[in-house]
Amino acid sequence: MEHNERGFTLWFTGLSGSGKTTVSEIVERELRERGRRVEVLDGDIVRTNLSKGLGFSKEDRDTNILRIGFVAELLTRNGVSVIVSAISPYKEARDQVRRRIIDFVEVHVHCPLEVCAERDVKGLYKKAFDGEIERFTGVSDPYEPPEAPDVVLDTDQEEPEESARKVVEKLEFFGYLQPTVSEVRERHRATSNLSQ
Ligand SMILES: Nc1ncnc2c1ncn2[C@@H]1O[C@H](COP(=O)(O)OP(=O)(O)O)[C@@H](O)[C@H]1O
Ligand SMILES: [Mg+2]
């Protein structure tokens, strides 16, 4: 493993059920295969420990994001590849974290609300529409989409592997990851006249 690897925080933001956890797991696997040290901070898990007891008011949601950002920064500056998947609905809190972490890559996991609700991975949308959950993002609480994300995934139109590939390619483009030999050869083949 290289010793001068630069850490980064890959931050997935999007509605519940948009695909943050699904894509982040694929990217995590890919990073580990490339020998990176990876830590994942998933909103659902963070809320059972680091942010235990916090609710879903704007203040608590912002506190949750700033705590995740604080830990992400500590890890990032120590060369770790950090993956955060958290709804992170408020732009200002995300931007605050982004300002603090130089090596920050923002991924908007975009999926129309209707599709997220149709997927209803955790059965929460039904409850939210039935009024059994207050302050549910996208239904009865705001989601402010990022204005200039580094990557946009359209998970209603892509397979999870395709979405993950877009993320990995962006990390390569920024120089955080080296393209693999097979990727370089693949690109060469695609652009080379020899292949025609
Ligand atoms: N391109 C895609 N990326 C991610 N998830 C997808 C995609 N296409 C379909 N899905 C499905 O959408 C659901 C997303 O759920 P999940 O990853 O738990 O969302 P979140 O973590 O954002 O709440 C999964 O059932 C997944 O299989
Ligand atoms: Mg999730």
Task: Tell me what percent of the residues of the chain surpass a pLDDT of 70.
Answer: 96
* pLDDT: which is higher, 179 or 61: 61
Q: How many A from CA of 170 to the centre of ligand 2?
A: 21
3-state secondary structure of 177: coil
Q: What is the pLDDT of residues 69-121, one digit of tens each?
A: 999 999 999 999 999 999 999 999 999 999 999 999 999 999 999 999 999 99
12 — pLDDT class (breaks 50, 70, 90): very high
Around ligand 1, the residues with Cβ closer than 6 Å are 14, 16-23, 85, 109, 119, 121, 155, 158-160, 163
Which residue CA neighbors atom 5 of ligand 1 most closely?
A: 19
Mean residue pLDDT across the chain? 95
In which region does residue 100 sit, left (phi positive, over 0), alpha (psi from -120 to 50) or beta (all else)?
A: alpha
